[in-house]
């Protein structure tokens, strides 16, 4: 112990020493579980990174063969890559007036994150944003 620590322990009295001894005995059985959330946060970050990589790879393969893919093609590419349909949202490839959309976007809900991928003229961009208050990644239906 350092001088400051031993002085503090001595001035704290016998009750403090007994409390520290009891804590040491309780901890002597082995390492305690990490209750700080660090492990679960690391697992969530790893899952998001895996989803981001999956979305990037699947959309890149799709865009290489179809620079302006349709909604169904994006859905098929991502579910074929292992994305659960329930976690997937895909924008429409056509406007309500029947025009081709400039870009198509897909979102994968991963915990508290949304992995958002966009295909525009064969170029793929993927980013991670927080989930909306609605629990979804896209606004609207």
pLDDT by residue (tens digit) across 68-111? 999 999 999 999 999 999 999 999 999 999 999 999 999 999 99
How does pLDDT run across 35-66, given as a tens digit for each residue? Answer: 567 889 899 999 999 999 999 999 999 999 99
Position 18 scores a pLDDT of 44
Looking at residue 12, its pLDDT comes to 45
Which of 57, 134, 68 is closest to 105 using CA atoms? 68
Radius of gyration of the chain (CA): 26
pLDDT of 29 reads 55
Taking each helix axis as running N to C, give the angle between helix 3-12 and helix 14-27, from 0 to 180 degrees, rounded to the nearest 10. Answer: 110
- Alpha-carbon span 103 to 140, nearest angstrom: 17
Q: What are phi and psi of 88, to 5 degrees?
A: -110, 135
What pLDDT sits at residue 5? 42
What was the pLDDT predicted at 140?
Answer: 77
pLDDT for position 28: 57
Instruction: Identify the bridge partners of residue 117 per DSSP, sorted by sequence position.
Output: 106, 126
How far is the C-alpha of 46 from the C-alpha of 63, rounded, in Å?
A: 25
Summarize pLDDT for 8-35 with one digit per residue, the tens. 444 444 444 444 344 444 445 555 555 5
pLDDT in tens, 102-139: 999 999 999 999 999 999 999 999 999 999 999 999 99
The predicted pLDDT at position 34 comes to: 56
């Amino acid at each position: 112990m350092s001088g400051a620590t031993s002085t503090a322990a001595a001035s704290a009295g016998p009750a403090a020493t007994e409390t520290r001894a009891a804590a040491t005995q309780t901890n002597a059985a082995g390492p305690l579980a990490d209750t700080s959330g660090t492990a679960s946060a690391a697992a969530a970050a790893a899952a998001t990174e895996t989803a981001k990589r999956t979305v990037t790879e699947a959309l890149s393969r799709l865009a290489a063969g179809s620079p302006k893919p349709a909604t169904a093609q994006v859905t098929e590419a991502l579910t074929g890559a292992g994305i659960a349909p329930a976690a997937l949202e895909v924008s429409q490839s056509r406007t309500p007036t029947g025009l081709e959309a400039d870009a198509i976007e897909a979102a994968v809900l991963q915990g508290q994150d949304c992995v958002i991928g966009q295909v525009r003229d064969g170029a793929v961009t993927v980013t991670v944003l927080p989930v909306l208050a609605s629990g979804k990644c896209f606004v609207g239906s």
